[in-house]
Structure 1
Amino acid sequence: MMANLFIIMGISGSGKSSVASLLAKHLNYHFVEADDFHSEIAKAHMADNKPLTDEMRAPWIADIISYLNKLYLQGTNVVLAYSGLKREHRQQFRYLDYNCHYFYLSGSREKIATQMESRNNHFFGVDLIDSQFQAMETILPEETDVHVIELDGDLQQVCSKVVRLTDELVN
């Protein structure tokens, strides 16, 4: 049976890590935080309120994919918290052998800014939120594996939506 890869995506501050962590616990899947794969240089760049370039993202994505390939060979089901800003980058995960599904946490600038301001000790500040909205490429109709989850409730309500969808996909 093919292992599952559920990717919780969205701009920084959308709640990806919180939702992905809770979903991984619910499903008893391995949780992977994409931010853990950023280089110290990239983290410092973002901490200086500078958005990453595609050139800076390339080795980060390659490292995540390499790690996911190792997990796949072990038969490990995964929930990944990952921005998914660019279609080209989302496509790279689709080439993996996993049964891949995306859950895009979509919300207003105001909602996400409020969530960002409540975080502590994160290298990505609220000053970069506009660059995230600009970098987020529209989900195309052919991206049928992307489920849009509106951030119209609290964390528990958003998690409940994602859990319902994943339960349908795994059963």
Structure 2
Amino acid sequence: DDFHSAESRAHMASGKPLTDDMRKPWISAICQELKEHAEDNRPAILAFSGLKKFHREPLRHCGLNVIFLHLTGERETLAQRMLARNDHFMPPSLLDSQLETLEIPADEEDVFSLAIEEPLEDLLIQAEKLVNEHGNS
């Protein structure tokens, strides 16, 4: 969220989804941050709503070995979690547009899916295992 411009945050807060063109500066800012981590030989963990392969692809070329953990869940679970957030700029009303935009990662060898209905502790163990197995090279 920190990489979104104030304009993009306001756009989402008003209940309007971002376009691909509006996402480009956000993705560029994330890439710049990842490049700085790579230059300093520092690992990074990033929460990123890369809904399309087009959004994920630039991150693959930022100098770090990148893997994606694709969190999956039922719409109702996602909606409940969004409603439980406090003071977030993206309203739950944008969930459906996010789900409509989502391209389920297929044939992307660096994308691993995790079901959010799993207990948090189990998710963390699975995520750590995937990062250790695939994220270190």
TM-score by length of 1: 0.75
Provide the C-alpha distance between the structure 2 equivalents of 1:125 and 1:157, rounded to a whole number of angstroms. 28
CA distance in 1, matches of 2:14, 2:97: 13
Please report the RMSD computed on the Cα atoms of aligned residues, expressed in angstroms.
1.4
Of 128, 152, 161, the match for 2:117? 152
Higher strand share: 1
1:140 maps to which of 97, 100, 106: 106
Tell me the secondary structure at the aligned position of residue 46 of structure 2.
strand
Q: With CA pairs under 8 Å and 6+ residues apart, which has the higher RCO, 1 or 2?
A: 1
Q: 1:161 and 2:136 equivalent?
A: no
Which range moves more in the overlay, 145-154 or 98-107? 145-154
Please state how far the C-alpha of 1:160 moved relative to its aligned partner: 2.0
**Which of 52, 77, 98 in structure 2 is aligned with 1:111?**
77
CA distance in 2, matches of 1:167, 1:71: 18
Paired with 1:154 and 1:126, the residues of 2 have a C-alpha distance of 23
CA shift for structure 1 position 96: 2.0
The answer to whether the Cα contact below 8 Å between 2:72 and 2:114 also exists between their aligned partners in 1 is: yes
Alignment partners' CA distance in 2, 1:122 and 1:36:
12
Does 151-160 or 88-97 show the bigger shift? Answer: 151-160
Equivalent residue, structure 2, for 1:38: 4
Instruction: Give the match for residue 82 of structure 1.
Output: 48
Secondary structure at 1:52's aligned position in 2?
A: coil
Counterpart pick for 2:61 among 82, 86, 95? 95
> What is the alpha-carbon distance in structure 2 between the residues aligned to residue 150 and residue 50 of structure 1?
27
Name the counterpart of 2:32.
66
Alignment-derived partner of residue 121 in structure 1: 87
Amino acid in the other structure paired with 1:128: L
1:55 aligned to which of 21, 32, 40: 21
Identity within the alignment, %: 38
State the TM-score, normalizing by the size of structure 2: 0.93
Deviations 1:8-33 (A, max 9, x none): xxxxxxxxxxxxxxxxxxxxxxxxxx
**CA apart distance, 1:140:** 1.8
**Residue type matched to 2:15 in 1?**
N
Q: Which consecutive unaligned segments of at least 5 residues does structure 1 have?
A: 1-34
